[in-house]
Amino acid sequence: MQVTTWFIAKEDEAEAIESIVTTEEHSPEDWMYLELPLIEMEFMALSAALRGTEDITDERTLEDPLIFREEDGLIIARVVESFIQSLARVTDANVPGLVNAWVERMDQENHGPEELREFLSEMVKFARQAVARRSPVLSLATF
């Protein structure tokens, strides 16, 4: 299963984050982080739901990779700022409709609506922390 971990971290910390997987010099606990069993297409489906569009491939949620190591099975990239900002603005009243829209845009075999609601809640809290700290979010995806 692919796991994506978000870190409240700056781009110059990408190599230190890489070491979590490659050398274990650092651990996730060195940063504020959120671990999710989601892949890029699932984040793109959420982004489309946030924007109210049907086409999940219309806009990526990650910038170009800062680090791509196929041999170690990892990618580190900055999460697109507009996606983080959109997540930070989600209100409790928006959650049910947003989860339904997210479910409609993705493969429902992997995650049910209640699980997605929990993931969304965690992502919203995390995005708000990143915005409050005025810090980018880096994504570490392992495959």
pLDDT of 2 higher than 90: no
Residue with tokens 């949620």: 61
pTM of the model: 0.94
- Residue-wise pLDDT tens digits, 31-43: 999 999 999 999 9
pLDDT of residue 109: 73
pLDDT (tens digit per residue) in 43-102: 999 999 999 999 998 899 999 999 999 998 899 999 999 999 999 999 999 999 999 999
Q: How far from the centroid of its chain's Cα atoms is residue 65's Cα?
A: 14
**Position 143 pLDDT exceeds 90:** no
Is the model's pLDDT at 19 over the cut of 70? yes
Of 67, 74, 79, 69, the residue nearest 138 (C-alpha)? 79
CA dist 43 and 96 (Å) reads: 17
Q: Which amino acid is at 75?
A: I
Does CATH number 3.40.1760 belong to domain 3-142? Answer: yes
* Residues 43/127, Cβ–Cβ less than 8 Å: no
Q: How many alpha carbons lie under 13 Å from residue 5 in its C-beta half-sphere? A: 20
Nearest to 92 by CA among 114, 124, 50: 124
Q: Where are the domains of the chain?
A: 3-142
Question: Over the stretch 100-132, which tens digit does the pLDDT of each residue have?
Answer: 999 999 876 778 899 999 999 999 999 999 999
